[in-house]
Structures are given as C-alpha cells and as structure tokens.
Amino acid sequence: MSRSKFFTTTFLVCAAFVALPSNILADSADADGLHIGWASADITPEQPVVLTGFSRARVSAGVLDPITATALVLDSVQGGKSSEKVVMISLDLIGVSNDLRDQVREKVSQSLPEIDPNKVMLNATHTHCAPETRTNTEMAAKLGELGLEVPAAWSRWGMDLGVMSPLEYVEFAATRIAAAVEKAWKRRKPGGVSFGLGHAVVGQNRLTSYYDGNSRMYGTTDRPDFSHIEGYEDHSVGLLYTWDAEEKLTGVAVNIACPSQASGGSRITADFWHETRIELRKRLGEDLFIFPQCSAAGDQSPSVLVDKRAEARMQRFTGRNRRQQIAVRIADAVTSVLPIMEKHIDRAPLLAHRMDQVELPRRRLTAEDIKTPRSTHHRPETETVEQAFDRLLGEYRKMREELEEHPQRKEKPGWYSSMTAVFWRLSRASRVLDRYELQQTQPTMPVEVHVVRLGDMAIATNPFELYLDYGVQIKARSKAVQTFVVELANGSGAGYLPTARSVAGGGYGAIPESTEIGPEGGRVLVEETLKMIDSLWDEK
C-alpha cells in the first residue's frame, strides 16, 4: 500500500464521523457524479478458427494464451439522472470488423435499450494471432460473375477451410462482448478518474529508407545504402485510472502507439498484452481491469530494426523475451505515476461524447497507378495491376480445379496455404481496380469518428491503421490537456492511412493496394477530428 493510500485509509477509519460528500460514499444508482462499471469476457474460440494478420490463412493450432474483451462504462449522473453515457470496449483482435461492430451494438441495444448503440465504441489491439472476423462479399460477387462460387462467410479467404467460419466466430464473440457490456453497466457505481502521462519504449518505426529514396517495411539496416528510419516514434503512454468510492484503483486504460504484433505462428494469443496484464495484476492486484488502446501506429511495430544483436543480448541477460520486456516497460509507466494520480481523482468530470460520419477524399489513383508495371512487397512480379489480377485469377481458378479433382489433398496439413496466399493477392489487385472506377462516382468515403471529453482529457477514435504523424498532429493541437488517439476502432475496410513521405518511399502501407485514403485525406481527418474535439470544449 502506498503512503498516500495508507494515510487516506487511516483517516477514514479514525475520523469516520467527518461528513464527506454524498457522491463519494454513496452507492446508490442516482448519486450525482461519475459512475463507473467494468467487466471482461474471454473471447477465445472453443474450436479451431482461421487466424488473420498475414498474407495467407492460418488455421489455429491451439491457444497460447486467452484473448479478452474488456468493457468500460462511464455514466455521468446529474440531478439523479444520467446526463451522458459512454461504453468503450477493447478487444484482443486484429481489428473491429463491420460485422462484429454491428452485432455487438445490436445485442447491447436489445439487452440495454437505455444505451444508444452509437455510444458503444470498440477498438482492437491488432494482435496477428486472433480469429478472422471480416468478409469480402464484393469479391465473392465478382467471382460469382466469373463462375467461381465462394461462400459469403469465407469470402475473405476464397474457400471454406473446414473450421469455425469468421461469421460464426463473430456471433460467438459478439454474444460474449455484449454480455460483458451488460455486466459492466449493472456493476456501475460512483467513482472517479485521473489521467496522466508516462513513457515506455514499445513501438518503433518499422520502415527503413535507403539512399535511392525507397522505403521498405522491415528492411535490413546492415547494407551500405541504408540511410535512415523513415518516421517518428512516440514513446508516450496515455494513462486513465479509475477509482471506486473508497479510492481503490479498479482499472487503467493504457494508450500506446504500438500494435500488439510481437508474435506470429498459429496459436491464438493476445500478444504482449497478455504479459502486461499478468505484470500489472502482480503489482496492483488480481482484480485490476486493464484496457488497452492502440494509438496512431500504422507505421509502428514492437520489432527492433537497429541494435538487434544488442537487444537479443539483453534478453538473454534479463531472462525476459520481447513480450515480457514490453510488459515490464508498460507496467513501469503505469506504476511510476500512480502515486501522483491517486492525489488527483476527479469524481465529477464533464463527460461528453460526439460521433460523426466524416467524409474523407479517397486516395486518387491515376492511369499510371493502373497501367505502369511494378512489383510490391508481397508480389515480386513486375506487372500492371490488370496483369496481376488476370494472372492471379488464373492461378486461383487452376488451384480450385485441382483441389476439386483431388479432394484428398485436404488431408495434408496446410493444404490451403498456397491457394489462400494467391487469393489474398488477387483480392488486393481487385480492390485497386474497383477503386479506380469507384473514385469517378464516389470521390469521398465516410468513416466513423468518435470523440469523448472526460474532464480535461479527450479520446479520439478512427478506423485506420493511422500513421503516427497524424496522431501527433491531433495530440499537439487538441484543446484537451491530454488526448488519447485510438486507431483500429469502430469498423474495418479503411486500411492504412500513410503520410506523403511514406507514399514517396513506396513502403508496404503506402501503396495503392494497402490504402483507401491518402495524405490529403489524412489532413482532412486531423482537421475534422480537431473540430469535433473543439466542439466539446466550446459547448457550455
């Protein structure tokens, strides 16, 4: 127990006769002030699923550690009535698909009709070893016109892999997530929050730049033409602590500019957030809730590109692997400012929320993007996008025919690997061709953006793998004292949102196949997000 907690507890015991504000000690549902509810759910599938995060399908081969949904409910009560409420959900998934988002909101609205579905926000940690939740019905429809039927549930990977389908998993996960929200809502009690800033080296820019002007994702740094790491890194840790009426710490939201992709393989895992939960609960109590948020980090990862040998040496010396090292760093950031945070608890912060469909200009593709032969990170052949589509379609068709002629091949482990890799690249080429036509009639794309004001801090979401520069711009110019930017939130299909610098370098996340929105749209997203934040400060 900290010194401040000890003296606080002693004071309450020895001087219980002192009258304290009713909204601090009251446990009734209509006590004024902020009411807080927490709950979590295990969303680990109970049977094999297809994992996502790489350029070919993987069928899960067991569970390394569980994946979790964590729900945080904030309810501002004034005059005995709820004046504003927000539901935030963090998921150990690669992203939040539209199917999952919609099902969770629908189930929450059925069980809790008093909650507006648009108040329910979901964000993902971006683990690359979690179940697929996305479909690609547009691709399935296109292939159907070409005589190739693909089940809608499997339209992301081009074939039925014989395990729990993505849509079946969505139903399974959405049911458990909605139940966690209901539990958190029913558990809400008067409490308080405090927010602070720590630091931990977790995310690092993953793009290497060379003297010829080109950039490469995870490119080698020991070659003579290596010039520099392409972009900035943000090692700040945004921290939001929640407290109950007795000033006991109940949970902490941790906002870092890094996706949880230290792991690969075919076992389900929450990645470094699993070790982080263990480390924080070891220090602060087993009943602590941990709410991960991935800040703008489209060009970041927990991988080390420079000093790799030194990093490996330190892992040997400490006896901690990469995930464990990250967990210790995050936990150090959380606990380093905790003694200060427990002295600055706000029990009645202004809570405000706004959600808009922001129209962003699509990344404008030119005829040169379509007609000029080029290779990509996952497609070494030098060819136009049209040529790539035709070649990959032929390969996919041939593989399907061969599998139909020799169904016994499905008995071989990994039988689907090559075909799903071809389908993945085929889908990317198809998306570029479709977008080239779509931009003529739909030059903008709507994206769902939420902003929340909680006292003097703000939370701003977006659905992208948003490059770090944009998050930095939002944080630097926000009216809030501290702003948490949250990517991979409330919908999929938006892809990476790269900077002009990265587009010029031609790295993986900046090519047409990886993006719907370009640097122009990034600027618009920043400005519109800031306007939304400003509006919550301008309102009386």
Three-state secondary structure readout of 117-181 = HHHEEEEECCCCCEECCCCCHHHHHHHHHCCCCCCHHHCCCCCCCCCECHHHHHHHHHHHHHHHH
Of the candidates 289, 257, 243, the one whose C-alpha atom is nearest the C-alpha of residue 484 is: 257
Of the candidates 503, 497, 504, 446, the one whose C-alpha atom is nearest the C-alpha of residue 470 is: 497
Of the candidates 153, 183, 178, the one whose C-alpha atom is nearest the C-alpha of residue 43 is: 178
DSSP 8-state code for residue 481? S
pLDDT tens per residue, range 440-487: 999 999 999 999 999 999 999 999 999 999 999 999 999 999 999 999
Would you place residue 493 in the very low, low, confident or very high pLDDT band (cuts 50, 70, 90)?
confident
* Residue 347 · residue 31 · CB < 8 Å: no
The stretch 101-123 carries a mean pLDDT of 98
Q: What is the pLDDT of residue 8?
A: 39
Q: 3-class secondary structure for 456-471? A: CEEEEECCCEECHHHH
Alpha-carbon torsion angle 418, 419, 421, 427, nearest 10: 170
* Residue 234 · residue 217 · CB < 8 Å: no
Q: What is the pLDDT of residue 250?
A: 98
pLDDT tens per residue, range 80-109: 999 999 999 999 999 999 999 999 999 999
Of the candidates 467, 471, 474, 469, the one whose C-alpha atom is nearest the C-alpha of residue 508 is: 467
DSSP secondary structure, 426-466, as one string: HHHHHHHHHHHHHHHH--EEEEEEEEEEETTEEEEE-SSEE
Would you place residue 509 in the very low, low, confident or very high pLDDT band (cuts 50, 70, 90)?
very high
- Collect all residues with Cβ–Cβ distance below 8 Å to 26 and sequence separation of at least 6: 190, 245
Q: Which residue has the tokens 């769902």?
A: 448
Q: Is the pLDDT of residue 289 over 80?
A: yes
Would you place residue 17 in the very low, low, confident or very high pLDDT band (cuts 50, 70, 90)?
very low
The stretch 510-539 carries a mean pLDDT of 96
Alpha-carbon distances, residue 286 vs 109, 251, 326 (angstroms)? 31, 11, 20
- What is the biggest distance separating any 2 CA atoms in the chain, rounded to whole angstroms? 84
pLDDT tens per residue, range 29-81: 679 999 999 999 999 999 999 999 999 999 999 999 999 999 999 999 999 99
* Residue 208 · residue 219 · CB < 8 Å: yes
For residues 22 and 339, what is the distance between their CA atoms, to the nearest angstrom? 25
pLDDT tens per residue, range 202-246: 999 999 999 999 999 999 999 999 999 999 999 999 999 999 999
Q: Is the pLDDT of residue 1 over 90?
A: no
For residues 79 and 187, what is the distance between their CA atoms, to the nearest angstrom? 20
The stretch 307-315 carries a mean pLDDT of 94
Burial of 265 (0-12, 13-18, 19+ CB in 10 A): middle
Alpha-carbon torsion angle 20, 26, 30, 33, nearest 10: 50
The stretch 1-22 carries a mean pLDDT of 36
- Collect all residues with Cβ–Cβ distance below 8 Å to 248 and sequence separation of at least 6: none
Q: Is the pLDDT of residue 399 over 90?
A: yes
Q: Is the pLDDT of residue 195 over 70?
A: yes
Q: What residues form DSSP beta bridges with 493? A: none
Q: Is the pLDDT of residue 306 over 60?
A: yes
Q: Which residue has the tokens 């909680």?
A: 454
Instruction: Provide the mean pLDDT of the chain.
Output: 93
Q: Is the pLDDT of residue 24 over 80?
A: no
